[in-house]
Amino acid sequence: MKKYLVIGNPIEHSLSPLIHNYWMKKYRLFDSIYEKRKVEEKGLKNIIEEIRDEEIVGVNVTVPFKKLIIPFLDELHITAKETESVNTLFKVKNKIVGYNTDEPGFASTLQELFPDPKGNMMPTLLEGKNIFVLGAGGVTSSIIYALEHQGARIFVSNRTKKKAEELKKKYTKIEVLDWGKRPSVCDIVINTTSVGLTKDEKISIDFSDCSGNKNKLFYDLIYNPKETKFLKEARLRGNNTMNGQRMFLNQAIYAFNLWTNITPEIDDEVIKLLD
Ligand code: ATR
C-alpha cells in the first residue's frame, strides 16, 4: 500500500483525508491510502524517517508544524524557503523535500476571483487596491507572498504586533497597523487568524462604512464553519464574501499533483464532501 498522511495537532478536524481518498479512488489509485495522524513535536523526526524508509510516500503538514518541520528536511522548494512554511513533504532523489502548496493554492484562487482580462497569469485587477490582512500566523506569509507583486497596498495587523513586524522584515512594503486599527479604505479584507473557528468568536473591527458595497471583498481562510461571524457580518452588510474552501481545494490539488503527477479535478462530488 502507498501511504499518505496529514499530520498536525489537533488533527481530528482535518478534511484532507476525505478529499485525497476521494481523488485516489476517482483516479483508480487503488493501492493508495491517505490517513490523519496526531503527532507531537518530538514525533516529527520519526515522520521524516518513515518517508525516508518509504513507509510513507507523502505528507501534508498542518498547524502547528508548518515551520517547526523545516529543520528536519533535506531541502526546501523555493516558495517554502521564502515563506518559511511547509505544508507538503515528498521524497525526491533520496532527499526529503518540503513544499508550500498553500501559496499557489491561494494564488490560483486569486486568479479565479480576479481573472486577468488579457489572460495574463497573474491578476492585475488588484492594482491600486487596499488589502487588509488580519493575522500574522503560520499561513499569513503564504498569503502575503502571493499578493506581494500585484500592485496593491498591503496592510497587516495582528494581535501580537511583534509577529506582524517580523513579517515586515521579509515583506518590506507591507504596512503594519496596531490590532483594532484599520486602513481608512479597505477593498479586500482577508482573515488569516483562527478567530471564527469556534462559533461566535468575532473580530471587533468596525467595517460599517463598507455597507451596501458589493465591490468590497471579505475573505476568510476558514472553511469550517462555512460562514464565520466575520463573513456573516460582511454578507449582511451587502459585501462580497468568500470562505477558504477554494484555497483548501487548490492547495490539495497541488499536493496531489506533486505526489501522483495527476491534476485532480474539483467536481461537485468533492465539494459535497466538504459541505
Ligand atoms: P501560530 O501563530 O502559532 O503560527 P496560527 O494558528 O498559525 O498559529 O495563527 C493564529 C493567528 O490567529 C495568529 O495571528 C493569532 O494572533 P497572535 O499572533 O496574537 O496569537 C491569531 N489569533 C488567534 N486567536 C486570536 C484572538 N482571540 N484574537 C486575535 N487574534 C487571534
Which of 85, 165, 193, 230 maximizes ligand 1 atoms within 8 Å of its Cβ, making it the mutation to test the pocket?
193
CA distance 242 to 227: 9
pLDDT one-digit tens code per residue, 120-157: 666 567 889 999 999 999 899 999 999 998 889 999 99
Q: Taking residues 32-48, report their average pLDDT.
A: 98
Identify the CATH number of the domain in which residue 138 sits. 3.40.50.720
Q: Residue 79's domain spans which residues?
A: 2-100+248-274
Same domain for 63 and 173: no
Angstrom distances, CA of residue 128 to CA of 117, 125, 162, 204: 16, 8, 27, 26
For residue 179, the ligand 1 atom closest to its alpha carbon is 29
Ligand 1 atom 12: the closest Cα is on which residue? 193
Residues 6+ apart with CB under 8 A from 104: 79, 146, 250, 251, 254
Grid coordinates given for 143:
498569503
Same domain for 113 and 46: no
Query: Which of the residues are catalytic?
Result: 66
Q: Taking residues 70-93, report their average pLDDT.
A: 97
Q: What is the pTM of this model?
A: 0.93
Q: Which helix (H) or strand (E) holds 78?
A: helix 78-83
CA distance 122 to 69: 30
Same domain for 43 and 58: yes
pLDDT of residue 275: 86
Query: Does the pLDDT of residue 115 top 80, yes or no?
Result: no
How many separate domains does the chain show? 2
Report the half-sphere exposure of 226 (CA within 13 A, side-chain side).
5
> Does 152 sit in the ligand 1 pocket, CB within 6 Å?
no
Identify the CATH number of the domain in which residue 45 sits. 3.40.50.10860
Same domain for 225 and 129: yes
The mean predicted confidence, pLDDT, of the chain is: 95
> Does 128 sit in the ligand 1 pocket, CB within 6 Å?
no
Contact between 59 and 88 under an 8 Å Cβ cutoff? The reply is: yes
Grid coordinates given for 232:
456573516
Nearest 5°: the CA angle 143, 194, 142 is 15
Percent pLDDT > 90 in the chain is: 89
Angstrom distances, CA of residue 249 to CA of 124, 142, 223, 263, 274: 23, 16, 10, 12, 10
Residues 6+ apart with CB under 8 A from 81: none
